[in-house]
Structures are given as structure tokens and as C-alpha cells.
Amino acid sequence: MPPAISALVVLATEGGIPTSNPWSQVAVPLAIVIFVGSVYLLLRSNLGTRRGYLVLGTCLWGFTSILATFWTFGAPGTPPATGPQNLPGQQLNEYEPTWTPFAQDSAVAERPEYAVAANYPEGFGPVPGEFEAEAGTGADEIANFFSGFDPTDDYRNVIEATWEPVATEFAEATNGYPLIAVTYQQTCQIDTNADIVEGEDPPLTPEGCEGAQIGDVAEDGDTAVLFGFFDAGNPSFPSYVMLGVVLALFLLHALLLSRDESRERRERVVEPAAGEPVEVGASAR
């Protein structure tokens, strides 16, 4: 890849070109003018203004319809719902599956649909087998959220990044969202405040970790129960919208192109040579 292109990719990936920059705002219109406009000029020079546009529109939206079909339904080696993930003006993850972590004493738990969390452990049971993988992802999301506070801020971490989930329970909110309660417990870690003797195993913390390995769950360590509900979203919705729009545009342009060709055939004038019979249905000036 040329160095200039590599630099542009890095800038775009790292947010080096903000959306407020005029160049980022004209990038898409400029690409349409250059890449689509040049093809239209070539078609126009051979087919005329109207026919050239209709041929270009039919081909463009027909090809986009094929892509949108793959985006929506997938293909061999391509998973479904790989097209646009949001509609214009929406957040990038508007329709993506999301986990929302919350604590038992938070405002979320006070909402009627998630009141089951306030009554924990009542209403909770084992995680269904088909939801175990998603629940594991939810436990990681909850841990990342509650161990991610800035230590220089007024907040402190509810749990540390070294805590491990030791139990996961399942309930269903009244709005139908799956909800999990995850119990996190301290793990045995090196006690950096203790004296470390050369040649001996480093002391571990918290208490009760004697003889354990680093990373083992501390039997006498602190625990915390945290919650999260899962919104499955609708990742396919933007792809369906895109597919419907481009199919409508393809059918419209194909219909107009067919109508334009039919009108041209009707208006074509046949000039018969002297003494030759005039073709039935043909008209003469």
C-alpha cells in the first residue's frame, strides 16, 4: 500500500480527521462526482442524457441490490446482517446487541421492569443452556464497567479487574429482556505491601490465600453481586431498510428504462425505398 494511502488509513482509524473537518464532509459527495459522474459522462456521450442516466441508474442500483441481499441474508462464507449498522442520524450501535450493567441500589433497579434485581435472590435461577455463551459475555461486560472508574475521580472501583465471576444467575425482566446477576469474588494476588523474601514464594492477599496460586479465587475474599440486562437489538433492520430502498430504486429505473426504449421503438420512422412495400405498422413521414 502506498505510504500516502497508509497515512490516510491511520488518520481515519485513529480519528485524525474529525467529522467537523470540511474535507470529511465533502468526501462522499466528491467520490460520487468522480467515480459515478465519470461513468455517466461516458454513457451520455453514446446514449444521450436521459438514456445514459437510466442505464447508469439501473446498473448501479441493480448491483447495489445484489450487495444488499448479501448484507441482509448472508452468503457462503458471509454472515447475515453485515451491512449498515445504523440509519442516518443514529448512533453507530443503535441496533447492535448491548449489555447494560447496573448495581442493585442504582436507579435502573428502581424501574418497574427491572424490579426483580432489587429482590435478589428471589426470582433468579440457573442460566438457560442456550443463553450461557451470551451470559458469559455479559459477565465480562459487567466486570469491565464496574472496574473501569478513574481512580483519580471521586468514584472508586466497585470491583477490581482481578476479581472473577464465581456464580451467574438468570431472570427475565417484565419487558422480556434477559437479566443476569453475577457474583464476583476476589482472587489471590501478590501482596505488594508485604516484605518479599528472596527465595521464598511471595506473600498473597487477601487473607486465606496461603498455599494458593496467583489468580485462584480467595475463599475468604470480598464478594459483590452486580447485574446487567441484555438488549438483543435488531442488527438486521438497517440492512432490510437498505435492501428495500435499493430494490425500489432498481425497479423504478428498470421500468423507466424499459418505457424509454419502448417509446423509442414506437417513434422510430422507417423510410422505405422506392418500390418496396412498407412494413405493416411502420409509418412514413
Three-state secondary structure readout of 127-176: CCHHHHHHHHHHHHHHHHHHCCCCCCCCCCCCCCCCCEEEEEEEEECCCC
Which band of pLDDT confidence, cut at 50, 70 and 90, is reported for residue 191? confident
Where in the chain are the domains?
Answer: 3-88+237-267, 98-231
Nearest Cα neighbor of 83 from 73, 72, 95, 96 is 72
Beta bridge partner(s), residue 205: 189
Average pLDDT in the 65-74 region?
Answer: 92
| Per-residue pLDDT at 285 | 38
Beta bridge partner(s), residue 65: none
Rounded to whole angstroms, what are the CA distances from 229 to 67, 96, 236?
34, 14, 21
Per the CB < 8 A criterion, the answer to whether 243 and 65 are in contact is yes
Residue 216: in which H helix or E strand, if any?
A: none
| Per-residue pLDDT at 44 | 94
pLDDT of 81 above 70: yes
Per the CB < 8 A criterion, the answer to whether 144 and 136 are in contact is no
| Per-residue pLDDT at 283 | 44
Q: Which pTM value belongs to this model?
A: 0.67
| Per-residue pLDDT at 1 | 47
Average pLDDT in the 216-222 region?
Answer: 88
Rounded to whole angstroms, what are the CA distances from 94 to 24, 87, 91, 164?
22, 8, 5, 30
pLDDT of 26 above 90: no
| Per-residue pLDDT at 228 | 96
Average pLDDT in the 202-216 region?
Answer: 87
The percent of residues above 90 in pLDDT, for the chain, comes to 52
| Per-residue pLDDT at 85 | 84
| Per-residue pLDDT at 259 | 95
135 alpha carbon, distance to own chain's centre? 19
Sheet strands side by side (includes 164-172): 98-102, 223-231, 178-185, 164-172
67-71, 80-84, 124-128, 239-243, range with the lowest pLDDT: 80-84
Per the CB < 8 A criterion, the answer to whether 228 and 120 are in contact is no
Per the CB < 8 A criterion, the answer to whether 143 and 165 are in contact is yes
Phi, psi of 126 (to 5 degrees): -65, 155
